Structure 1
Amino acid sequence: MSSHHIIREKQEPALIIADGEACSTELLGQLLEWSPTVMVLDGALKRVLPLGIKVDVWLGDFDSSRDFDEAVIDYPFEKVHTPDQLYTDLEKGIMYLIEKGYPAVNIVWGTGMRMDHTLNNLHSLKKFSDQIKMVMMDDYSVIYPLPKKFIKWYAKGTMLSIMPLGKATTIKSKGLKWEIDHRSLELGDRTSSSNEAAEDGFVEIEYEGGFLLMMESN
């Protein structure tokens, strides 16, 4: 699988391939077409290189590097050793891109398999939401932080879950099948899971405090 057909450094989103459940080759190929920089996190490298993907950056604490043969370790990409255990590999990857001046990143293989990794990766979308634009994708969902004022066109019946990380307050919506009218949502108490676009048209969401994720589900 090749990539980098169109290279516009730091104008198109970088791509991070994490170490969770692999997505379809179709989704991965679509993202590679528009990704001038491909970063692979630590142990995922052994699954990525056989796909023929041109990797630009390999980042992690490299605890699993002993599982790779010398030919892989000598592969001509940038190797970024980040041994600090205070941050997850995904956090360190996002921090690297922020430091390099990237405005946006798409993330795949960030869900599935270990649930603690999935939850930590979703937390990363909150942690860095004011520093870089982030979208996490798998074969079932597109997930991204919701700004305080949001508007987007959807086809009728598109499944949309509005999920708080912590608590989000004074939320109101327009265009959902089950509207949210100045309510608060709080993880562990109330969410707006499995909502949907009421008609073909724009969905609008506003809220005052806290943090919300949008999950567009297939």
Structure 2
Amino acid sequence: MNDKALLFINGVPPSTIPNFEGYGLIACSDGAFHYLKKLGFPLKKLAFISGDFDSHSGTDESLAQDKFIYTPDQDKTDFHKSLEIILYRGYKTVDVYGGSGGEMDHFLGNLHTALAFKDALDITFYDEFSRYFFAPKNLVLTEMKGRLVSLFPVSVASNIKTEGLNWELNGEDLSVDKRIGTRNFALKDKVSVQFSGGELVVFVGHQPMG
């Protein structure tokens, strides 16, 4: 079984349809269904559309009705409920589009949701500028030279050691109220990040910086 899923949620949509080959499951929240339809995404590729359907009718003439999963729980976001379904279906890796932009409280809420699933799912967000994710304690990235790298603690990350960045960290802590590690960049193709405590979101630019 291919355990990698692709999920579209209701933030700023991608400007073009991303490559969706190689995923075992493709799904979207109810709000994202609108932009996928406008982008010309092949809707029959969707395994499910989930949400409370406050922004969608919960039906479409081109799809079987059982693909629409009504999840009315108002204590959870549509993103959270979609991840629950993906996890229940046995998938362990999720690439997410539409997680940032627009109303920024949604972006922060999406990070909060990803943190809640961090130990169960390997979640990576993609937007027009970068990919970002909660880092494991020992992270190695390749093909990195010239790319933007930002390290953002949630809310503290301790004893951080990096190799391959312009401004290295050598056992320092990062915290929201004192010091963060944004707008760094890679000097080498291989970058490593290690830390011993807390949580760290890593942002990686799609293209080398000019």
TM-score by length of 2: 0.88
- The 1:189–1:53 alpha-carbon spacing in structure 2 relative to 1, beyond 3 Å, is farther
Q: Percent identity?
A: 29
Larger strand fraction of residues: 2
1:205 aligned to which of 181, 193, 199: 193
Candidates 98, 102, 106, aligned match of 1:109: 98
Q: Aligned-residue CA RMSD in angstroms? A: 1.8
Counterpart mapping for 1:25-36 below 5 A = 25=16, 28-30=17-19, 32-36=20-24
Correspondences of 1:152-191 after superposition (within 5 Å): 152-191=141-180
Aligned partners of 1:11 and 1:103 also within 8 Å: no
Distance of 1:81 and 1:188 partners within structure 2: 40
Aligned ranges 1:40-189 → 2 under 5 Å: 40-50=28-38, 51-54=40-43, 55-66=46-57, 72=60, 75-76=63-64, 78-189=67-178
| Structure 1 residue 74, shift from structure 2 partner | 7.1
The answer to whether the 8 A contact 1:15-1:37 is kept is yes
- One-letter amino acid of the counterpart of residue 150, structure 2: S
Report the structure, 1 or 2, having the larger helix content: 1
Whole-Å separation in 2 of the counterparts to 1:29 and 1:204: 27
SS in 1 for 2:31: helix
- SS of the residue corresponding to residue 154 of structure 1 reads coil
Partner of 1:4: none
Q: Specify the code of the residue in structure 1 equivalent to 2:50.
A: L
- Counterpart secondary structure, 1:160: strand
Q: After superposing the two structures, state which structure 1 stretch, 208-217 or 150-159, moved more.
A: 150-159
Unaligned runs of 5+ in 2: none
- Count of matched residue pairs: 202
CA displacement, residues 62-104 of structure 1 (integer Å, 9 cap, x when unaligned)? 12234x7x6x267215121111111111111111111111011
Q: Give the structure-1-normalised TM-score.
A: 0.85
Question: Would you say the 8 A contact 1:174–1:205 is kept in 2?
Answer: yes
Structure 2 distance, partners of 1:92, 1:44, is: 14
Residues 123 and 165, structure 1, Cα contact 8 Å, conserved in 2 = no
Tell me if structure 2 keeps the 8 A contact 1:12–1:34: no
